[in-house]
A and B are shown apart, each in its own frame.
Chain A
Amino acid sequence: MTQDTHDSRTDGRRQFLKCMAWAGAGTLWLMKSGVLHAHPLGDATPAIKDAAFSFVQISDSHIGFHRAPNPDVAGTLRRSLALINAQKTRPTFLLHTGDLTHLSKPEEFDTLAGLMQEARVSRRFYVPGEHDVIGDNGAEFFRRFGEKQHDGGWYSFDQDGVHFVGLINVLHLKAGGLGSLGTDQLAWLKRDLAGLSSETPVVVFAHMPLWSLYPQWGWGTDDSAQAMSYLRRFGSVTVLNGHIHQIQQKVEGTITFYTARSTAYPQPAPGDGPGPGPLQSVKPDALHRYLGIRDVRHVQAGGALAVTDEELS
């Protein structure tokens, strides 16, 4: 499978370190004067003294996945959490934007829940990915990880003057369609935002991209434009998603869209290859093209986390 011609005895370890290069990834978000600034975890420690608070986003842990290119998704998630714990200032909360598990199995949820306890944060927030709702429309997910504010699973909360909204876009999907919010959730969102002044910074998070990132591969949400129409009046809106296992960004007026990397495995860039799915035989010298990793040789040598080429803030 691998085309490496080096000593095969070291392949297992090299493969694992490759995993560590692109997994173990999370994003530290700093709220400064109502605007979010992103810093990839493992990067140089950002200046946080003028931040009101910070939180960390991780995504797509896929507990239960055990194939190439990452046979140890629990290990790479654990590495992510260790990076969070290594921050000098403790993040206010941890946000997981879905696909906690690979197959929605109880034992996978158990493992995820146990690992997440290792993160030294006071609160953890979750939204489900499509992998978390297989067979039961998310009943098990919501029982374990839901905020239980509304029957549909969506919720909102405030942190230091910032309004956070967690949306569900992986349920009741229609044949031929993309992610879906549905009329009930959209009506709630409109009501939820109605009382806020336009100066309120808003952060919206959901698993699937809330913009048409690459609909041919299902990377979008059918009715996200409706949701955005409610958000356009706000001066600072940040939309955080997972699902595609890579960083993509887009700015649309006052709305900034951002997708996170996976803690488990990368997926191809939009349209690169026949379809999405795990990039199984990523070669070290090609990783940076897919993943924004600057120096993979360094990763091979020392096992340190590579940093992305992206200037995020």
Chain B
Amino acid sequence: MSAISRIGYVLSIAMVLSGVARSGLAANAVPPKAKAYEIAIQNFAFAPKTLTVPTGTRVMWTNRDEEPHVITSAGAQFVSSKALDSGDTYTVTFSKPGTYAYYCSIHPMMVGTIIVQ
């Protein structure tokens, strides 16, 4: 009984804290600087296939396929991901301007480009 009430207490604290965090975010009309640009991996393709981002932004891939994929930079310009299973994400911060071609190392017909300006 006491264990259950303790769990309830911890949960309610957590809910209060997350509520505070959420309302804090909501108060910001402008998205925070650290927002990641998102690329979906779906049907063995990257969407969008070409993405243009400002220097210093984060790019996050999400695997929405039932197949694993591996984000690999053509020419090793950034670190490759591990095998991304369904639902897994991979994030890279692009701190230098340039054109970054990448592909899936196990399904190499899947190609994409990130242009950092």
Contact = CB atoms under 8 A, between A and B. Distances in A.
Are A and B a genuine interacting pair, yes or no? yes
Interface of A: 67-68, 102-104, 130-131, 133-135, 170, 173-178, 215-218, 274-278, 280
A134 B74 contact: no
A102 B101 contact: no
Interface residues on B, range: 20 to 34
Contact of A276 (B44, B105, B111): B44
B67 A278 contact: yes
Contacts of A103: 68, 83, 85
Contacts, number: 66
B96 interface: no
Interface string B26-62: 0000000000000000011100000000000000000
A130 B74 contact: no
A175 B67 contact: no
Contact of A135 (B44, B67, B83): B83
- Report, nearest first, the 5 A-B pairs whose CB atoms are least far apart: A275-B43, A175-B103, A130-B106, A275-B44, A274-B43
Nearest to B45: A275
B108 A280 contact: no
Given A275-B44, A277-B65, A218 B107 contact: yes
A33 B98 CA distance: 61
Interface in B85-117: 85-86, 101-103, 105-111
Among B45, B103, B105, the most chain A Cβ lie within 10 Å of the Cβ of: B105
A202 to B, nearest CB: 28
A4 to B, nearest CB: 20
Given A103-B85, A175-B72, 6 more contacts: A134-B83, A134-B105, A217-B44, A217-B109, A278-B66, A278-B67
B47 to A, nearest CB: 11
Nearest to A133: B106
A175 B74 contact: yes
27 contacts: A67-B86, A103-B68, A103-B85, A131-B68, A131-B106, A133-B106, A134-B70, A134-B82, A134-B105, A170-B106, A173-B106, A174-B108, A175-B74, A175-B101, A175-B103, A176-B103, A177-B109, A178-B109, A215-B109, A216-B109, A218-B107, A218-B108, A218-B110, A275-B65, A276-B44, A276-B67, A278-B66
